[in-house]
Amino acid sequence: MKPTEVKKTIQVTYWTCANASHNHRSEAVATACIEKHDRRSAAKPKNKWTTEMLINAAEMILNGSTIKAAGEHYGVSPGRMRQVMAKALRRMWHPSIRIPDPVPNHDATNLEEFREHKAWWQKQIDHSRELLRPNRQ
C-alpha cells in the first residue's frame, strides 16, 4: 500500500471584540467582552486630575458631600476618591501654597475633623484658586 496525500480545509469561526488579541467562540461572549470594555472605559476620568479638579473635589466634600457621592460625580470609586482627596489636601498643605494663617491642629484625612475646620479650609481653597488664576501679580 502506498501513502496518499489528503488535503482538508478547516474553517474556524470566531467573533472579535474591542481587544485585537481576543477571539471569542460565540457572539454572546464577544458582546459581553465589548460591554465590559465600555464600562471600564466610561468609569475612568478622561483627563488627569488637574489642580483645579482636586480643589473642586475637596470643596465638594468640605460642603457635605460624601466620598461615595463625590466619586460618582467624577466617575471613580470611593477608594480612588479618598486618594484624590488626600492628594488635594497635600497640594493645598504645601508651604508654597498654604495661607500664612495659623494651621489648625487636626487630622484632615478624618472627614469630621476636616469639616470642623471648614472656615480655615474654605480660605485655603479660595487662596489656592486665586493662585491658579492667570495674570496674577
| pLDDT tier, 132 (very low <50, low <70, confident <90, very high otherwise) | confident
pLDDT of residue 45: 55
pLDDT of residue 42: 66
When pLDDT is averaged across residues 95-111 and rounded to a whole number, the result is 79
85 and 58 Cβ atoms separated by less than 8 Å: yes
| pLDDT tier, 109 (very low <50, low <70, confident <90, very high otherwise) | confident
SS3 15: strand
Please give the Cα distance from 49 to 93 (Å, whole number). 17
Backbone angles phi, psi at 52, to 5 degrees: -65, -40
When pLDDT is averaged across residues 44-62 and rounded to a whole number, the result is 83
**Could you tell me the pTM of the whole model?**
0.60
Distances (CA, A) of 23 to 27, 33, 99, 116: 10, 10, 57, 55
